Amino acid sequence: MIASYPQARLRRTRATAWSRALHREVLITPADLIWPLFVTEGSGVEAPIASLPGVSRWSVDGIVARAREAVDLGIPCLALFPNTQAERRSDDGAEALNPDNLMCRAIRAIRDACGDTIGILTDVALDPYTSHGQDGLVNAAGYVENDATVEVLVGQSLNQAAAGADIIAPSDMMDGRIGAIRDALESHGHVNVQIMSYAAKYASAFYGPFRDAVGSRGLLKGDKKTYQMDPGNAEEALREVELDLAEGADSVMVKPGLPYLDIAVRVKEAFGVPVFAYQVSGEYAMIEAAVAAGAGERDALVLETLLAFKRAGCSGVLTYHAAHAARLLGA
């Protein structure tokens, strides 16, 4: 039985700040945030990314400083992506398997500096390492081969786990990779290394600035539509998630974020597992462009969009605004 006006006045509970606070259904806190960071060679390097204003690539020492900052801000986890030197990129992305690659050095440096006070999530996919910018191995016809790629991704995952990664996050969208990676982690003693699967990852126009950041944009010919999902599909996202859970994913991700909130809701309702959303580079850039154009106010836009993810049922959000948001929210 629902009362009607004037017995019911929904504005009553909105009349004061204390009452709005009391009735708020969801909260965003720094503990909900995962901070994506781009690593580059050198020392003392901060290289701004033009299409991602306010975000830089950092050399390993700078990444360690960001990790310390994150701990102070109450951010529980970092997501690392490498900008591999051009001469280390190859057709087969072999640098992904090098135990001394940029990622592994960054992982070890953060671990040395911060111990287990912060989580380290690492991206598994070959695009930062390939000379063609695709996430996997490309055959003569230009097709990204599934099973051969999975073998390399398994090696990449073991390499990152050995360096100290806490969460392996495959973003490549090959079939069967979660099960293969889980088996390998188990048999190599990494039983507590988690897998956060980019389970519902769409072939999206919102990834452009990220590709600038890892240096794959100019290399990439064509698109990623033979492995990333079609933006028209929602039922298929549920199948992707179901398979990844059956193969041993500890948590799943929906990506991009805001344009795909309906997917996050449906995944949460269908499976009740930890769901994360990636507010991707193009979404970040849209907010910054709106701010620069005087069309919106940064702090409010950031907090409102992050809250939307929590309302949709997400456990947390990967966002380039993580440090800024955490500062606004207070540790």
The footprint of ligand PBG (CB under 6 A) covers 123, 125, 127, 135, 171-172, 207, 210-211, 224, 280-281
CB of 318 to ligand PBG, least distance (A): 8
Strands 194-201 and 167-170: parallel
Considering the complex, state which of residue 57 and residue 211 has its C-beta at the smaller distance from ligand PBG. Answer: 211
Q: Name the amino acid, one letter, at 187.
A: S
Query: 255 catalytic, yes or no?
Result: yes
CB of 238 to ligand PBG, least distance (A): 21
Query: Could you say which of 224, 255, 268, 310 is catalytic?
Result: 255
Considering the complex, state which of residue 73 and residue 280 has its C-beta at the smaller distance from ligand PBG. Answer: 280
Considering the complex, state which of residue 111 and residue 224 has its C-beta at the smaller distance from ligand PBG. Answer: 224
Query: Could you say which of 201, 224, 268, 310 is catalytic?
Result: 201
CB of 291 to ligand PBG, least distance (A): 18
CB of 304 to ligand PBG, least distance (A): 19
Considering the complex, state which of residue 127 and residue 247 has its C-beta at the smaller distance from ligand PBG. Answer: 127
- Quick one: which of 247, 277, 250, 272 has its CA closest to 262? 277
Residue 113 buriedness (CB in 10 A; 0-12 / 13-18 / 19+):
middle
Enzyme catalytic residues: 201, 255
